[in-house]
Structure 1
């Protein structure tokens, strides 16, 4: 869910992670986000905020402007919010709840696809995210991305030309991928129904989905004939 800037250049640290992946040329690729796709980001964030006498106001999809102090309802400003989110990822990444049906759907799809998790998790929490993925039955390669996701998806396609599907909750990530890797099929999914209600389908997605059961069926239909 965390918003990021949109550089066109692929960060060197991300390029190194992609180069190190063991990928099979020609095998369909599923590129899947983590926060609000594989893990319930907002549920974890709300628990974290409550422990600090803060709350999420639910006035929009954005984090900035919606995190407030219970004492006086004042908004947590940008600089403090950045530090707060870094602490959240450091403390709570490994404890986020898995999204219903995600592990089971990916397990069924992995017979026909290779799965890569592309997450904007901070580098300090990468190992915690890997442990959480493994513990919840999703031991797939993780790329700790920085910035919007078009550059990373484009780089993955250079490694694995062929059919690819991208799943993410952030609309501007769909726009970035549409611009830099337009051949990728883009699914917009927001696991938390409260968040999903705050925005419509991403303008540059191909399809909006509401559950992992729907994702499984949609992706399976796309794989017919590949």
Structure 2
């Protein structure tokens, strides 16, 4: 239920930290956005890893100009509660992981739509604190974690966000969780040290294994 503008306002417990992106990680984005476009007489052609330049009129095939595409994205965020739903098992997995770790959502979206996003997450029982930002994610995760002696995990579908966190929080476990959408075939690959996950079930197994290994390393040796 918490909407946060400043990472310093979040009070973490003495547990591991999981920071997760939302669009196309927790909530479906590209598939419902495509349906939204078609409801307006447009179509997204997955010809590159961009929306601008790849949305056309169904009627005549003409390419929508960048300003129109940007407006459509903004309108979709405004109407997200009508279109976006969680991925299968995302809610259950996050609730289960919350028994072992603090969870914070970090979403790259215009903060003007953050309250709408907050209400949508709450509808599905995803009441973990959320930060909406259009800045780089690495510094935000760095401020959240604060160099604590606890494991930290970051999940995202975008290679640039994973790279940003890797640069600022090198000890962080990085998980590349992306949907099986055609446009992601054009996505740049994640860097070295990033662990791919096909779905939330696989992501959960990776996270729990990481926590277990960290705990085992911290246990004192028995004579």
Q: TM-score range by the shorter chain?
A: 0.7 to 0.9
Q: Aligned runs of 1:12-161 on 2, under 5 Å?
A: 16-24=5-13, 26-93=14-81, 95-158=83-146, 160=148
Task: Verify: 1:209 aligned to 2:197, yes or no.
Answer: yes
Q: Aligned runs of 1:188-203 on 2, under 5 Å?
A: 188-199=176-187, 201-203=189-191
Q: TM-score, normalised by structure 2?
A: 0.86
Aligned to 1:3: none
| Distance apart, 1:94 and its partner CA | 5.5
Alpha-carbon distance in structure 2 between the residues aligned to 1:48 and 1:16: 29
Provide closer, same or farther for how the CA distance between residues 160 and 87 of structure 1 changes in structure 2, counting only shifts above 3 A.
farther
Residue segments in structure 1 that go unaligned for 5+ positions in a row: 1-13
Residue segments in structure 2 that go unaligned for 5+ positions in a row: 216-223
Contact 2:5–2:132 (Cα < 8 Å) also in 1? no
Contact 1:117–1:143 (Cα < 8 Å) also in 2? yes
Contact 1:94–1:132 (Cα < 8 Å) also in 2? no
Alpha-carbon distance in structure 1 between the residues aligned to 2:185 and 2:135: 25
| Distance apart, 1:15 and its partner CA | 8.7
Provide closer, same or farther for how the CA distance between residues 168 and 21 of structure 1 changes in structure 2, counting only shifts above 3 A.
same
| Distance apart, 1:91 and its partner CA | 1.5
| Distance apart, 1:34 and its partner CA | 0.4
Q: TM-score, normalised by structure 1?
A: 0.85
Alpha-carbon distance in structure 1 between the residues aligned to 2:115 and 2:193: 30
Alpha-carbon distance in structure 2 between the residues aligned to 1:98 and 1:184: 25
Larger Rg belongs to = 2
Q: CA RMSD in A?
A: 2.1
Aligned to 2:150: 162
Provide closer, same or farther for how the CA distance between residues 200 and 80 of structure 1 changes in structure 2, counting only shifts above 3 A.
closer
3-state SS of paired residue (1:76): coil
Contact 1:188–1:201 (Cα < 8 Å) also in 2? no
